[in-house]
Amino acid sequence: MPELPEVRVHAERLEQLFAAATLEQFDPITFTALKTATIDPLRAVGHSIEAIRSRGKLLVLGLGEVSFVVHLMQGGRLVPDARMTARPRNGIARWRFVDRDALLLTEPGKERKAGVWVVGGDPLAQAPLAGLGPDADTVNRTRLAAMVGSTKVRVHGLLRDQRQLAGIGRRLANEICHAARISPFAITAKLDEDGIDRLHAAISSCIATSIDFERTQPEMVGSAQRPAEVHHRTGEPCGICGDTIREIAYTTYTVNYCPTCQTGGRILADNTTSKFLK
């Protein structure tokens, strides 16, 4: 799933293409496209795009008093649509603009989890944005320490909890834990001051590195093309110490780590009922 860096840069690209575009029509192409019916999308017609921005893993298109909040989920993308065919391949929803290409939300596959919320007023105070924690790269060391001290969960889980830190997914969580030299299964409440320092620095550096990389790309790339020291590199040598990168496999994802860098050389058992490193 695209994380904060990819979504933020995706918003930057879209704003360059569609800033000030006037909405002519909004078409939900599939039955699942609209996730809310609170506000009629027609209220945005005739208004121009004032901003396209990101919030965590979501995109926000602001048009006057109406905002479209878009969740790309795993494979969704917002792409320019010059052809505007009646049944675009993988099309979910389309924004038509006056004298401009349309903007098409696409999602391959049959799950159709990507979607659009239409909200009036402040979008940050309403679903699905209400309840999100701060964007992860805006959290200072003091606030992170408060989060760590008030929870007793695995570090990897805290990083991915969108109510605590918005925008971090599995790839970034793996990379941050490795950069911080912390086991992904270390318990937050047991981190010492040095551990908190390393974690805070790793959050900032990993997100910044990913944003810098994403800005070199003409479009959002797949997960396998994004920079990674450990994520999805099971069996490869660690670029820091040379040890073999390991994984903990779950049903739909893996947690990657380097034993030498993160667990004092200990190899964690590859099942969910193991006695994890504390």
CATH code for the domain in which residue 199 is found: 1.10.8.50
Of 83, 103, 125, which residue constitutes the final position of a domain? 125
Picking from 100, 125, 150, the residue at the C-terminal end of a domain is: 125
Query: Which residue reads 């999308």 in tokens?
Result: 41
Number of domains in the chain: 2
Contact 39, 126 (CB under 8 A): no
State whether 182 and 77 are in the same domain. no
Task: Assign residue 49 the CATH number of its domain.
Answer: 3.20.190.10
**What is the per-residue pLDDT for 271?**
56
Q: Residue 253: pLDDT band by 50, 70, 90 thresholds?
A: confident
272 inside domain: no
pLDDT band with cut points at 50, 70 and 90 for residue 275:
very low
pLDDT tens by residue, 22-44: 999 999 999 989 998 688 999 99
Q: Is 30 exposed, middle or buried (0-12, 13-18, 19+ CB in 10 A)?
A: middle
184 and 239 belong to one structural domain: yes
Q: Which residue has the tokens 């004032």?
A: 50
Are 144 and 86 contained in the same domain?
no
Residue 275 lies in a domain: no
Query: Tens digits of per-residue pLDDT, 219-240?
Result: 998 877 898 999 999 999 999 9
What residues make up the domain containing 87? Answer: 4-125
For the packed helices 141-149 and 193-214, what is the interaxial angle rounded to 10 degrees?
120
pLDDT over 60 (residue 113): yes
Same-domain status, 176 and 117 = no
Residue 172 lies in a domain: yes
Q: Is residue 212 a part of any domain in this protein? A: yes
Tokens representing 212 are 């810098």
As a whole number of angstroms, the distance between CA 80 and CA 78 comes to 7
Pair (104, 213) in one structural domain: no
Q: What is the mean pLDDT of the chain?
A: 93
Sheet holding 23-28, edge to edge: 23-28, 91-97, 102-106, 77-81
User: Does 277 score more than 50 pLDDT?
Assistant: no
Mean pLDDT over residues 179-204, rounded? 97
Residue range 71-101, pLDDT digits in tens: 999 889 999 999 999 999 999 999 999 999 9
For 122-173, what is each residue's pLDDT tens digit? 999 999 999 999 999 999 999 999 999 999 999 999 999 999 999 999 999 9
pTM over 0.85, yes/no:
yes
Using the 3D structure, point to which of 71, 95, 125 is the last residue of a domain.
125
Residue 267 inside a domain? The answer is no
